[in-house]
Amino acid sequence: MKAPSFTLPRDGGQTVKLKDYSGRKLVIFFYPRADTPGCTLEAADFSKLASAFAASQTAVLGVSADPVKAQERFRDKHQLTVPLLSDEEHDMLDAYRAWGQKSMYGKTFEGIIRTTVLIDREGKIARIWSKVRVPGHADEVLAAARSL
């Protein structure tokens, strides 16, 4: 399946588009909320592996519905190196099926479903991880990217 296109603002004030990564592998990890424990661990793990992803010719993007300013505070506080995109309107989240019904403590609500997508050099989705468990996840994604 072809990866849905997107154009989103990112930390630092730039705009990022899927076509910016044409001909390259791309990992997109969708996380529920900046500066929460699981999201911090996930973003830090991808940041720690940034050079390994780069060596495998794979770019990495993090996406949440947080505003850009919150993304920038998150980046600065935890010294994150991966670009963080803001999808406040949920357009990309919907397109990648990372927005949906969740439940916690018996309550049902709409929110970001922790999901990671690996896109190949041709712009096709090579793999999707849904309902991600954070520990070891970035390493697993790196191994999959290297195998493409």
Q: Three-class SS of residue 5?
A: coil
Helices (H) and strands (E) in the chain, counts: 5, 9
Q: Known catalytic residue: 39?
A: yes
Q: Which amino acid is at 131?
A: K
Query: Parallel, antiparallel, or unpaired: how do β-strands 115-119 and 58-64 relate?
Result: unpaired
Residue 1 and residue 17: Cα distance in Å, rounded? 18
Contact 110, 103 (CB under 8 A): no
Spatial separation of the C-alpha atoms in residues 74 and 97, rounded to whole Å: 24
Residue among 39, 141, 142, 145 flagged as catalytic: 39
Query: If you ran DSSP here, which 8-state letter would residue 32 be given?
Result: S
| Catalytic positions, written as ranges | 39
